[in-house]
Amino acid sequence: MSRSLLRSDRSASLLWRRKLADRMATGLSWLAMLIVVCVLGSILWTLFKNGLAGLSVNLFTHSMAAPGQNGGLANAIMGSILQTGLAILLGTPAGLLTGIYLAEYGANSVLARTVRFVSDMLLSAPSILIGLFIYMVLVAPLGHFSGYAGSLALAILAMPIVVRTTEDMLYLVPVAMREAGIALGAPKWRVILFICLRAARGGILTGVLLAVARVAGETAPLLFTSLGNSEWSVDMDRPMASLPVAIYQYAGSAYQDWMQQAWTGALLVTLGVLVVNIVVRVGTRGGRT
Amino acid sequence: MEISARQPLPATKKNHPAGGVLVVLGAIIGVMAVGGWKAFAAFGPEFLISAVWNPVTQHFGAAAPVFGTIVSSALALVVAVPLAFGTAFWLAALAPPAAAAFIGMAVQLLAAVPSIIFGMWGFFVVVPLIAHYVQPTARHLFGHVPGLSALVAGAPFGTGLFTASLILAIMITPSITAVMRDVFVSMPTVLRESAYGLGATRWEVMRNVVLPWSRQGVIGAVVLGMGRAMGETMAVTFVIGDSNHIGWSLFAPANTIASLIALEFPESPAGSLKLASLMALGAILMAISFLTLWFSRWLLARGQKAAGG
């Protein structure tokens, strides 16, 4: 009698302890999630609070100027668009072809696995080193900073993203569709070009857009390649301004109006990057496996 | 976008692509090393262990920024790993499906925020908090404890190793979370359900079933985060305080390799010994981060192979 009482007592206490451990673990897990969400909220709130006040037509029509000269960010915005655009034009075809090779031809050969490995390394490699690399092989030998060099550095950053999504999306194309093409007598290149790529089009576009979002906010590689420029310039062979570099220059300054423009520029960059991300992720959520 | 998002590949042959990889690896490190050759030649092996960084006397050493890089990344992991694990646990096991999609997206958005934005946010929001509240509190609590007092010494600037680590932790949390969540979710449901069927609580299932099963993937995710943290530049540049100094204090200004390169490059004329030293530091960072990333991929691939049976 007393024995069984003791045992039920012990098991009740064990159950209580297990429940307590579960409560504590799940509570801490909720806390961690809330911290992460709050940080994102705090960043967005800070940007809106400080950045909204500086939004004006002037910002988009005037180039950077000395403090107090009523300058804008027009040349930086243009420079960012030009350099990001050229980077995507360079990086997308290279990434697309590499991705097709990996998914359709290379499969598991030594070369394919090496390329896959290097591409994954580049995906996480420090972007500042990509900038230094371009400085060494392009800027130093030519003797001047240029928008081309900046674009090339950004293209190297964009490429592995396109490689990864292209490869992943081609894997998702059903085998039956390829077989249907082959059964009709189509050569492999036609099957890839007109069946697989077409089926994977949406996913590949996602990768390109993610690459745009990634490189548009990059600062470190541009410091050593396109350098920045306070004048209006669309000549890609000369030093070129960009929004992130302009933010970096202005945010470290002591002038009220430069600080204001840095915040507004930061708001613009962040909103652009986040909107692209939201559109891409909401748009493809149904198609993901 | 994350590693484990890739479909499992068909059965692999046993040979490793190590040879080709080493060639590529060597080429990139080689370019940096060529650029930094002058520094290696001028200082010899002492470059690696010297903590002096003095442009006036033209004496440069790598030890201080290497110290800053490793300490800030390690501290960042201490903060980021529990955060990421908690969030991944929540996303994989606790969240209502609609909320999981929403919060999962928020986490991905945090990963997409450009690093310079983290830098500005860190400098104008986190640095004042550290200077006014965190460091004074830490000094009040630990300032007179032998052994701990050195860790909290120094004037409350707000910038320094601790602040940099905090920002780094926040930046790498989303990517660690994403990989961890993928690893947790990729586990066969029947294993988890058997444990629930035996009456295990959610935490017991996580601790005794999911974690042992996905251990390698989780470690791979953590090492990947470490690799990211070591190369992060802009955010750290804003909050690290720019001082080439090795010390015990967590709140003292310091430098990482990446922040030193970003800060000193504009004042380094082409062909100067200083620029060569920065290049040499770049080569060192390249080597460290490639080794780290390689290790993490190896762990993740092994975890995936174990998952495939």
What residues have CB less than 8 Å from B75, skipping those under 6 apart? B161, B162, B165, B168, B169, B250
Give the pLDDT confidence score for residue B3 in this predicted structure: 41
Q: On the CB side of B53, how many CA atoms lie within 13 Å of its CA?
A: 24
pLDDT at A68 over 90: no
Q: pLDDT band for position B5 (50/70/90)?
A: very low
- Mean pLDDT across chain B, nearest whole number? 86
CB of A214 less than 8 A from some CB of B: yes
Which of 153-212 (A) contact B at CB < 8 A? 161, 164-165, 167-168, 171-172, 210
CB-CB under 8 Å, B297 with A217 = no
Cβ atoms within 10 Å of A107's Cβ, excluding its own: 12
pLDDT in tens, A26-53: 999 999 999 999 999 999 999 999 999 9
What pLDDT is attached to residue A2? 54
Residue B54 lies in a domain: no
The answer to whether B147 faces chain A, any CB pair under 8 Å, is no
Query: Is some CB atom of chain A closer than 8 A to the CB atom of B22?
Result: no
Q: Which of A114, A223, A247 sits opposite B21 (nearest CB)?
A: A114
Residue A7 pLDDT class (50, 70, 90 cuts): low
Cβ distance B289 to A125 less than 8 Å, yes or no, reads yes
Contact across the interface for B233 and A114, Cβ inside 8 Å = no
To the nearest whole angstrom, how far is the Cα of A48 from the nearest Cα of chain B?
A: 12
| Chain A residues with CB-CB distance to B120 below 8 A | 247, 251, 262-263, 266
Q: Is B69 on the interface with A (CB under 8 A)?
A: no
B168: containing domain: 65-308
Q: Are A125 and A217 in contact (CB under 8 A)?
A: no
CB contact under 8 A, A220 and B5: no
Total domains in chain B come to 1
Distance between CA atoms of residues A267 and A274, nearest Å: 10
So what's the pLDDT on residue B15? 43
Inter-chain contacts counted by CB atoms under 8 A, chains A and B: 226
Interface test with B, best of A42, A43, A157 (most B CBs within 10 A): A43
Residues 40-99 of A with CB under 8 A from B: 40, 42-43, 46-47, 50
Is residue A134 within 8 Å of A156, Cβ to Cβ? yes
User: Bigger pLDDT: B208 or B25?
Assistant: B208
- Per-residue model confidence (pLDDT) at position B11: 39
pLDDT(B216) > 70: yes
List pLDDT tens digits, range A103-162.
988 878 888 888 888 888 888 889 999 899 889 888 989 989 999 999 999 999 999 999
Residues 264-283 of B with CB under 8 A from A: 265-266, 270, 278-279, 282
* Closest residue, chain A, to B92 (C-alpha): A29
- ipTM of this model? 0.90
Alpha-carbon gap, residue B45 to B181, rounded angstroms: 43
Answer whether residue B14 shows pLDDT above 80.
Answer: no
Q: Which helix (H) or strand (E) holds B59?
A: strand B59-60
Hey, what are B56's tokens?
């006036």
Residue B275 in any domain: the answer is yes
pLDDT for the residue numbered A3? 58
Do the Cβ atoms of A133 and B32 come within 8 Å? yes
Q: The domain that contains B226 carries what CATH number?
A: 1.10.3720.10
| The most confident of A6-20, A31-45, B11-25, B288-302, by mean pLDDT | A31-45
**A153, A160, A251, B262, B263 from A223: Cα distances, Å:** 11, 21, 15, 8, 10
- CB pair distance less than 8 Å for A274 and B113: yes
Asked if residue B114 belongs to a domain, the reply is: yes
Q: State the average pLDDT over residues B15-40.
A: 69
CA–CA distance from B266 to each of A169, A244, B172 (Å)?
42, 16, 28
Which DSSP string corresponds to A66-108? STTS---SHHHHHHHHHHHHHHHHHHHHHHHHHHHIIIIIITT
Cβ distance of A224 and B265 shorter than 8 Å: yes
Percent of chain A with pLDDT over 70: 96
Does residue B150 sit within a domain? yes
A21/B contact by beta carbon, under 8 A: yes
Strand residue runs (E) in A103-191: none
**Higher-scoring residue by pLDDT: B105, A110:** B105
Higher pLDDT, B29 or A158: A158
What integer pLDDT is reported at residue B6 of this predicted model? 43
Report the pLDDT averaged over residues A69-90: 93
Q: What is the pLDDT of residues B249-285, one digit of tens each?
A: 889 999 999 999 999 998 888 888 999 999 999 999 9
pLDDT tens digits along A228-278: 888 898 899 999 999 999 999 999 888 999 999 999 999 999 999 999 999
B260, B65 Cβ separation under 8 angstroms: yes
Q: Is B5 a member of any domain?
A: no
* B112–A26 C-beta distance less than 8 A: no
Q: Name the average pLDDT for chain A.
A: 90
